[in-house]
């Protein structure tokens, strides 16, 4: 019996997935385990693998197979699968192999050097590598833009959030900029009247790690298909069958590493619960990065910082870190909802976090669209941090424009995903709370099933079966509605 064109595509995209599996684990090792001297060889190996993936996707015969598959009598699920294959294929065919290789090499070199340069506050050293990353990102953006009709920045952003436009983002973020500054000031004034006990360290890294592992267990992480490690910048990597999450520790403060683990576990649970039957196909992948971030922020912000969840894990905190007055549930809730404009995005409180994202979006959009150059970033960063958060970053590159890893490898267009994800997460929980009026009591008692079951039914199991707008509408009954995000913040911080 002759193989159908669609079946031939399944075989090809399964092979691509296996290459991507190796690429993902090589990247995780590069960030978490690789010795210093291995970077050049690792970068070259990953570039070679990237070219292999690219060549497989751009094989001229694949175009004929796709054309033939479009004429076949496919089921609705198969049509969705073909749609996602075509999306990946079209993107690859717009980029020459030389550009793919050059981007991988430049990103690997810049990212590796950044780890030392950031620690040394060395903006000039970073800039020498970063200019090439920007040049190649602009080249990619122009190629994608010509095909799609999007602006160069939109073309890159659509790799992470398909369908999103700058006009829509400007509307959403413009609204946030109208009400967020006043809300921050109101909350800070309210909290100034309250007393909060700081947790007294030191907290050994070994104890923090054990605490994190126990919290991951509560959150349903499957340790037979994943692990926890350390990196300079917390992330979730690997593949659904082998999910790798990382955090970073400091002995004087356990709160950031623990909540970082909660955040990355949200990413991991999404990956681990994608449908196994299609995990090797584009349709079986996470829908978009904003949807991915909505999972981590559902875990960290909606669930993790709630008094109910803190009550659930408070015994674990005292078990691993000892008894102290700061570990009362009431005080832990104050610690995890303390609002204080500060330098670092990943350590930011829930309320000031969107300002960090909007700042990065505005800078990277101007950079990719050619309105500014890489040399201009520190000055713009200083201006916007002062304007949005009242924080002075002059000369402080380490805690300013060098703090994120995303730009080092050319991941421009990713940052909006964080605040979009926070908005999706607020919308999910509004719907979950409509269904379970006693959700907080259930969580405090250790019953997290209402949350996990809802996410599994509406998000995890759906993977990329639907376009993002359709996925959110099916899950919540309406399109993205940022009003849920504002309502959540007002209720949590002023309610």
pLDDT tens profile 86-103:
999 999 999 999 999 999
Task: Quote the distance between the C-alpha of residue 70 and its chain's center.
Answer: 33
Of the chain, the percentage scoring pLDDT greater than 70 comes to 100
Q: 247: which 2 tokens?
A: 């955090």
367 closest CA partner among 187, 151, 134, 203: 134
pLDDT tens digit sequence for 431-454: 999 999 999 999 999 999 999 999
- Across 2-148, the runs of DSSP E, i.e. the strands, are none
State yes or no: pLDDT of 1 exceeds 80: no
CA atoms of 307 and 478, how far apart (whole Å): 28
Largest CA distance in the chain: 77
Cα distances (angstroms) measured from residue 5 to each of 10, 19, 67, 88: 9, 22, 9, 17
How does the average pLDDT of the chain come out, rounded? 96
Q: 97: which 2 tokens?
A: 């192999």
Where would I find the H helices in 220-352? 255-272, 289-297, 307-321, 329-336
- Sketch the domain layout of the chain as residue ranges: 5-93, 121-495
Query: For 151-167, what is the mean pLDDT?
Result: 96
Query: For 320-333, what is the mean pLDDT?
Result: 97
Rg for the chain, CA atoms, rounded: 23
Query: For 32-59, what is the mean pLDDT?
Result: 94
Q: What single DSSP character describes residue 478?
A: S
188: CB partners within 8 A, 6+ apart: 339, 340
Asked if the peptide bond before residue 202 counts as cis, ω within 30 degrees of 0, the response is yes
Query: For 225-249, what is the mean pLDDT?
Result: 94
Query: Which residues are catalytic, by number?
Result: 264
CA atoms of 461 and 471, how far apart (whole Å): 11
Cα distances (angstroms) measured from residue 402 to each of 121, 328, 389, 414: 8, 36, 18, 16
28 closest CA partner among 221, 236, 216, 223: 236
| CATH class of the 121-495 domain in this structure | mainly alpha
Cα distances (angstroms) measured from residue 343 to each of 36, 162, 176, 316, 402: 28, 30, 20, 30, 11
Length of the chain: 495
Question: Which of 223-227, 316-320, 345-349, 365-369 has the least mean pLDDT?
Answer: 345-349
């Amino acid at each position: 019996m002759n193989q159908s064109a669609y079946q031939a595509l399944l075989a090809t995209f399964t092979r691509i997935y296996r290459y991507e599996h190796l690429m993902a684990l090589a990247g995780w090792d590069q960030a978490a385990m690789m010795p210093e001297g291995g970077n050049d060889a690792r970068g070259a190996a990953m570039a070679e693998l990237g070219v292999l993936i690219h060549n497989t996707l751009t094989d001229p015969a694949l175009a004929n197979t796709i054309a033939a598959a479009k004429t076949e009598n496919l089921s609705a699920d198969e049509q969705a699968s073909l749609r996602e294959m075509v999306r990946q294929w079209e993107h690859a065919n717009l980029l020459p192999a030389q550009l793919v290789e050059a981007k991988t090499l430049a990103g690997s070199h810049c990212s590796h050097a950044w780890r030392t340069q950031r620690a040394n506050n060395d903006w000039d050293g970073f800039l020498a590598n970063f200019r090439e990353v920007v040049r190649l990102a602009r080249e990619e953006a122009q190629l994608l833009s010509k095909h799609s009709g999007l602006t160069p920045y939109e073309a890159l952003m659509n790799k992470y959030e398909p369908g999103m436009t700058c006009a829509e983002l400007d509307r959403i973020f413009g609204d946030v900029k109208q009400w967020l500054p006043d809300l921050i000031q109101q909350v800070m004034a309210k909290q100034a009247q309250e007393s909060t006990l700081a947790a007294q360290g030191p907290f050994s890294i070994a104890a923090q790690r054990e605490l994190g592992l126990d919290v991951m267990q509560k959150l349903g992480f499957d340790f037979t298909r994943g692990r926890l490690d350390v990196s300079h910048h917390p992330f979730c990597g690997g593949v659904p069958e082998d999910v790798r999450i990382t955090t970073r520790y400091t002995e004087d403060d356990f709160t950031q590493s623990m909540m970082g683990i909660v955040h990355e576990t949200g990413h991991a649970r999404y990956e681990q619960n994608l449908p196994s039957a299609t995990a090797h196909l584009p349709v079986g992948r996470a829908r978009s990065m904003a949807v991915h971030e909505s999972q981590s922020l559902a875990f960290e912000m909606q669930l993790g910082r709630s008094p109910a969840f803190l009550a659930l894990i408070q015994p674990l905190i005292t078990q691993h870190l000892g008894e102290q007055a700061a570990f009362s549930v009431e005080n832990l809730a104050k610690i995890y909802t303390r609002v204080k404009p500060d330098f670092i995005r990943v350590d930011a409180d829930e309320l000031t976090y969107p300002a960090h994202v909007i700042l990065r979006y505005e800078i990277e959009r101007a950079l990719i669209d050619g309105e500014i150059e890489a040399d201009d970033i520190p000055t713009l960063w200083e201006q916007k941090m002062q304007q949005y958060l009242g924080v002075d970053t002059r000369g402080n590159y380490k805690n300013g424009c060098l703090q994120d890893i995303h730009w080092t490898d050319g991941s421009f267009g990713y940052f909006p995903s964080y605040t979009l994800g926070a908005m999706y997460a607020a919308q999910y929980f509004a719907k979950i709370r409509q269904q379970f009026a006693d959700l907080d009591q259930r969580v405090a008692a250790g019953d997290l099933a209402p949350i996990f079951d809802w996410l599994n039914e509406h998000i995890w199991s759906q993977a990329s079966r639907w376009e993002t707008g359709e996925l959110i509408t099916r899950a919540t009954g309406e399109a993205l509605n940022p009003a849920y995000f504002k309502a959540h913040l007002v209720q949590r911080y002023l309610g």
